[in-house]
Structure 1
Amino acid sequence: MFKKSAAVLALAVALAMASASQAKTIIKLGHGTNEQFHMHRAMVKFKELVETGSNGELEVHIFPNSQLGPDREMIESVQSGILEMAVSPSALYSGWDPAFSVIELPYMYPSKAIALKVMHGEAGQKLLDRLENQGLIGLGYLESGQRQITNNVRAINKPEDLEGVKLRTMKVPAHVDTFKALGANPTPMNFGEVYSAMQQGVIDGQENPISIIASQRFYEVQKYLSLTGHVFTVYIPVISQQFFSNLPAEQQELIRKSMDEASEFQQQIISKEETEQLELIAKEGVEISELTSEQRQLFSDATESIRAKFRDSIGADVFDDWVAAVKAASAE
């Protein structure tokens, strides 16, 4: 009798465990950065919040370092429902909808704080809503970073200082056009070649967020770091519309709330680490300069034609709405 009861109990436990296992919903999340980058650590926070908040009913599996393919392929996988989530640079989404180019136009925002206000406000949400036309649900914005300039020619404190400087840039039309307008010689090249190209004098410098400049040790082969903040770049985390719509309302809300909290967590990391990274770069002998508000305005004026150039391709309604949101956030 005892043996029979024990067997029945063991079977019941096994069935319960199997049932619990089957009840779990797996969310695969892919992105292209490494595990040390602040965005990845924010996604680890997202995973913790989702799994804890759902009592284990949702399980998030993170695949960094482009393990699931390049960013564009990951986005397409989310669109088709093969992959549940991806976190990719906002510039990639402009391939489907040119409106997303508005985010990374040069000197669009007087400061990072205002950029974040715009993106986390009504204008930012309206832009995310457009992703539903692509089979995606946009969950918010995660910082990639403010792009700054390093070079071996001179400190960059006014537009004229860029005259003739051979600068590696991304293959983003607005970025290339910006540096041409400022008198530099923009030179797109593969990221992996940048350090040796600066070391050998093939290029004079490059532009990237502080976190990249520090992690790639560019300070070893550069004399000047100018905090120009010319472009603010972000990642947009997306989830499959088909997958998301099949989740219970409370799990949908949990995912949205968890991403918001992960974004706030990322800002805490960036605030702390950028200070430490700038101290490290200065200790290595790099001369660091920061634009005054007057100097920044000179750069903004010099790139006004670039912003205007992209208004039509972005869509006048989206562009004007974004500019109005920046002005409103600046006035607060």
Structure 2
Amino acid sequence: MIRKLAIALGVAAVGFSTVASAETLLRIGHGANEQYHMHRALLHFEKLVEEGSNGEIDVQIFPSSQLGPDREMIEGVQSGVLEMAVSPSSFFAGWDPAFAVIELPYMYASKDIALKVLNSEAGDDMLARLNDQGVVGLGWLENGLRHVTNNVRPIKAPADLDGVKLRTMKVPAHVATFKALGANPTPMNFGEVYSALQQGVIDGQENPIALIDSQRFYEVQKHVSLTGHVFTVYIPVVSQSFFSSLSAEHQQLLRDSIAAAEAHQQQLVNSEEAGQLEKIKEAGVNVVDLSEEQRQVFSEQTKSVRAEYRDQVGAEAFDAWVAAVTANTGN
């Protein structure tokens, strides 16, 4: 996998051969397309880093899985073949089970609570665990609250998911969540989802509103149900060897620029999500906005998943995260 990534980086570098004046090259890989708010947040990061380093760092962003799927990019960062990747937090659970706690079903009562926890001491402690994976975690970027889309029926209660063939991320906790809800979860790489929906290979998928919009899933789906079942987040990680090669000033520049990119991303999300949802409705998609009571039924049915993952995550890490959620609820 790492060899394939190295070849991909080599091919990609040909197009940038004229940009060789910067002392340091920082290549970033991620899986979303260029319209997605996370990519645009990274463009803000690029601007801040290049200006803040007086052109000494040249940032190049490779969206849409150009450098391969997320696990392959993370492995590239671990080996030092790639400088930086921005991938969902759940992938890091493959090396450290504690990361699974972030994306468990109905862990947070709202997105605001999730963001408070991520930017608290508990979030900092979680990022510090990445040092044992050979990478440096710079911060957090939103992916968002995930919602269900499908072509079978509106989803208003767990029973409505019965037998629905639903694409999920290749994340065991997500698969377990939809098994508990009665669906037929089907893990699949992100880049394959649109065509699989179009061809009827799967009935539906689940993603945040901004991805349903930017990936145009609404073109091949009849129903969107605002289940808000999982809050997902990206972790921008940098190769330890690359990071240690930077001056202390440039290391801090990367951290500060990610924090500024996160704030910029929140402005984008808050200003655009309502319009994206309206666009989906105007395309003829039936949008079901679940009540708090309806979501609570989903939460109750996935309680067993949260209990199961307390054992897998480890009681200490799990309980510390739940304590942070409790501390930030109602603040």
Aligned length: 312
Deviates more, 1:133-142 or 1:77-86: 77-86
Instruction: Pick closer, same or farther for the CA change 1:22–1:151 going to 2, 3 Å.
Output: closer
| Code of the aligned partner of 1:136 | V
Deviation at 1:200, TM superposition (A): 5.5
Within the alignment, does 1:150 sit opposite 2:187 as a pair?
Answer: no
Aligned twin of 1:8: none
Aligned twin of 1:313: 312
Within the alignment, does 1:292 sit opposite 2:301 as a pair?
Answer: no
C-alpha contact 2:137 2:236 (8 A) present in aligned 1: yes
Within the alignment, does 1:47 sit opposite 2:39 as a pair?
Answer: no
2: CA distance, partners of 1:72 / 1:191: 12
Deviates more, 1:142-151 or 1:190-199: 190-199
> What is the DSSP-based 3-state SS (H/G/I as helix, E as strand, rest coil) of the residue aligned with 1:230?
coil
| Code of the aligned partner of 2:317 | V
Aligned twin of 1:268: 267
Aligned twin of 1:62: 61
Deviation at 1:127, TM superposition (A): 0.6
Aligned twin of 1:123: 122
Instruction: Pick closer, same or farther for the CA change 1:220–1:135 going to 2, 3 Å.
Output: closer
> What is the DSSP-based 3-state SS (H/G/I as helix, E as strand, rest coil) of the residue aligned with 1:52?
helix
2: CA distance, partners of 1:75 / 1:163: 35
1: CA distance, partners of 2:216 / 2:127: 35
Q: What CA deviation, in whole Å up to 9, does each residue of 1:107-166 have, x standing for no partner?
A: 111111111111111111101000111221100111122211112333222223323333
Equivalences for residues 32-181 of structure 1 within 5 A: 32-181=31-180
Instruction: Pick closer, same or farther for the CA change 1:22–1:190 going to 2, 3 Å.
Output: closer
| Code of the aligned partner of 1:276 | G
2: CA distance, partners of 1:23 / 1:153: 53
> What is the DSSP-based 3-state SS (H/G/I as helix, E as strand, rest coil) of the residue aligned with 1:311?
helix
Instruction: Pick closer, same or farther for the CA change 1:187–1:66 going to 2, 3 Å.
Output: closer
Root mean square deviation of aligned Cα: 2.1
Q: What CA deviation, in whole Å up to 9, does each residue of 1:166-186 have, x standing for no partner?
A: 322233221121112112222
Q: What CA deviation, in whole Å up to 9, does each residue of 1:231-280 have, x standing for no partner?
A: 11111101122322332222221111100000111111122222121111
Q: What CA deviation, in whole Å up to 9, does each residue of 1:161-215 have, x standing for no partner?
A: 3233332223322112111211222233454554455455554322122122223
Structure 2's unaligned 5+ residue stretches are: 1-19
> What is the DSSP-based 3-state SS (H/G/I as helix, E as strand, rest coil) of the residue aligned with 1:229?
coil
C-alpha contact 2:170 2:189 (8 A) present in aligned 1: no
> What is the DSSP-based 3-state SS (H/G/I as helix, E as strand, rest coil) of the residue aligned with 1:100?
helix
2: CA distance, partners of 1:101 / 1:283: 36
Structure 1's unaligned 5+ residue stretches are: 1-20
C-alpha contact 2:91 2:171 (8 A) present in aligned 1: no
Deviation at 1:23, TM superposition (A): 7.3
Deviation at 1:64, TM superposition (A): 2.4
Equivalences for residues 120-269 of structure 1 within 5 A: 120-191=119-190, 194-195=193-194, 197-199=196-198, 201-269=200-268
> What is the DSSP-based 3-state SS (H/G/I as helix, E as strand, rest coil) of the residue aligned with 1:187?
strand
> What is the DSSP-based 3-state SS (H/G/I as helix, E as strand, rest coil) of the residue aligned with 1:310?
helix
2: CA distance, partners of 1:22 / 1:269: 32
Instruction: Pick closer, same or farther for the CA change 1:25–1:171 going to 2, 3 Å.
Output: closer
2: CA distance, partners of 1:48 / 1:326: 34
Aligned twin of 1:31: 30
Instruction: Pick closer, same or farther for the CA change 1:318–1:53 going to 2, 3 Å.
Output: same
Normalised TM-score (structure 2): 0.87
C-alpha contact 2:71 2:91 (8 A) present in aligned 1: yes
Deviation at 1:303, TM superposition (A): 0.5
Aligned twin of 1:282: 281
> What is the DSSP-based 3-state SS (H/G/I as helix, E as strand, rest coil) of the residue aligned with 1:128?
helix
2: CA distance, partners of 1:242 / 1:205: 41
Instruction: Pick closer, same or farther for the CA change 1:267–1:186 going to 2, 3 Å.
Output: same
Instruction: Pick closer, same or farther for the CA change 1:38–1:160 going to 2, 3 Å.
Output: same
2: CA distance, partners of 1:22 / 1:201: 49
2: CA distance, partners of 1:63 / 1:195: 20
Deviation at 1:319, TM superposition (A): 0.7
Return structure 1 stretches of 4+ with deviation > 6 angstroms: none
Identical-pair percentage: 67
